[in-house]
Structure 1
Amino acid sequence: MNLSPRGKGRPEALAEKVYQALKQDIFDFRLMPGDRFSEKEIADRLEVSRTPVRQALFWLEREGYVEVWFRSGWQVKPFDFAYFEELYDFRTVVECEAVRRLCALPSPLCADTLAPLKGFWIDAPRLENGKAVSAHDEAFHIALVAAAGNQEMARIHAELTEKIRIIRRLDFTRDDRVDATYREHAQILLAIFQQQTEEAQRILTDHIAVSKAEVRKITLHMLQQARLQPIE
């Protein structure tokens, strides 16, 4: 992968490209939790100098994706499952508050605001590809929180969503999880449209709890299998 002629280009822009490439490698399990690597290996693979690689790795370290090993290069941080469970708990709190606010909106305004979600999850033909459904599932929850109208809450939720993206993809490797996602998203939307706050929050909480439970089942074998899946 050649991001730029070696040594050419604005340093910040090149570091950003390296950062995005490495983050995608982590999300797609081309770089696995626990994998060790050197700056030189990354620079050679991406055909850039080590300077933008180092900058990109410092950014990823600050975000918690990698860690530096003194005199032995870098490592993709191993999964901390307790940390991911805490993120799921926080996600539940934020999204339930968003649902409460949406249910308090006048019905016509709420219906107009959430019309694109209804169009995809209720009216349109279903997608079968798990990875595609995973991306749309993420977008569904982001859209719910954004629609509630609090920009700071939406910003925090978007950051939270990115932190769990790496593990969320593993929740869509089975057909039954894809079916459940369509069914539960439709139920959440219908409850919001009917301003049934407690029911919408209950369905949403259960929906997230199942995903959280799947986190506990993830094994190294599952991660290795994910690495073998073709990236589409």
Structure 2
Amino acid sequence: MPMQPGWQRPEPRGKRREEGQGERIYRLLKQEIFDFQLLPGDRFSENDLAARMGASRTPVRQALHLLEQEGYLDVQPRSGWQVRHVDFDHLEALYDLRVVLELEAVKRLCALPTDVRPLPLQMLRHFWVDSPPLTDGATVASHDEQFHMTLVDTAGNPEMARVHRDVTEKIRIVRRMDFTEAARISATYAEHGQILLAILNHNLKEACARLHDHIAQSQKEVRKITLHALHQARRETRD
């Protein structure tokens, strides 16, 4: 029977299953790294992980290589895989790049005509200023990322937005620590509101100052909280 134009042979069911397993293992491992269940410097083999995850080595290898590409793991010849150490110097460089990108975005947003109020900024105001604050740290962390990415997206340069999303992914492992304390969640709401209102009022000087101080304070707190969490996790492992 002749094949119809555009017809594609379906992928084997086993291959689709392995891809699904790889995605599952990737998410589980990444969460374990984020939660410091796997600590920086921890080593493991593909066989050990496959046994623990109840999967074959193929999806395990897929997940590991993806985490390696994202900077969370290193592969060691003849000694397996290792969780990468937290490189605070590298993270500070990424935070510096983040500041540059977001300040440029704020300048562009403040330069819009005074009668232009982009819908994404109005939606941010509804969440961060007009609505009751949330208290769950993980949920607020996700909205915080979206806040900053929306500022850059709305500025209108897709390449700036692409680089900013890449930076956001790379600093996520420590940045989310800023939302493990209630005081930091409250501060984020207040500071986001101040940044937004300054932008919507086209007050460039205040918007830039508020944004710069917000990121700098977050960066300082993140380093302190992360070091404390690592210390606690290592002590609990020893105990």
With the shorter chain as reference, the TM-score category is: 0.7 to 0.9
Residues 1:59 and 2:66 are matched in the alignment:
yes
Report the TM-score, using the length of structure 2 for normalisation.
Answer: 0.85
- Residue aligning to 2:131: 124
- Residue aligning to 1:212: 219
Deviations 1:158-188 (A, max 9, x none): 1110111110121122222111101100000
Distance 2:161 2:145 in 1: 13
Task: Please state how far the C-alpha of 1:55 moved relative to its aligned partner.
Answer: 2.4
| Within-5 A mapping of 1:174-213 | 174-213=181-220
Deviations 1:15-36 (A, max 9, x none): 3343333223222333222221
| Within-5 A mapping of 1:67-78 | 67-78=74-85
Task: Please state how far the C-alpha of 1:70 moved relative to its aligned partner.
Answer: 2.3
| Within-5 A mapping of 1:128-207 | 128-207=135-214
Distance 2:157 2:216 in 1: 24
Deviations 1:67-106 (A, max 9, x none): 0122221111010111111111110000001111111112
Query: Aligned pair count?
Result: 222
Letter in 2 for 1:137: D
Letter in 1 for 2:32: D
Seq. identity, %: 57
Letter in 1 for 2:23: E
Report the TM-score, using the length of structure 1 for normalisation.
Answer: 0.87
RMSD of equivalent CA atoms: 2.2
* Contact 1:81 1:215 (8 Å CA) reproduced: no
Distance 2:218 2:31 in 1: 22
Distance 1:99 1:203 in 2: 11
Letter in 1 for 2:113: P
The verdict on how the C-alpha distance between 1:194 and 1:219 changes in structure 2, with shifts beyond 3 A counting, is closer
Distance 1:109 1:25 in 2: 44
Residues 1:80 and 2:80 are matched in the alignment:
no
Identify unmatched segments of 5+ residues in structure 1.
1-6
Deviations 1:26-78 (A, max 9, x none): 22333222221111122122221112211221222122110012222111101
Distance 2:133 2:163 in 1: 30
Q: 2:42 aligns with which of 11, 22, 35?
A: 35
Distance 1:75 1:217 in 2: 24
Distance 2:107 2:28 in 1: 38
Distance 2:234 2:108 in 1: 40
The verdict on how the C-alpha distance between 1:219 and 1:124 changes in structure 2, with shifts beyond 3 A counting, is closer
Please tell me whether Structure 1 or Structure 2 has the larger radius of gyration of its CA atoms: 2
- Residue aligning to 1:21: 28
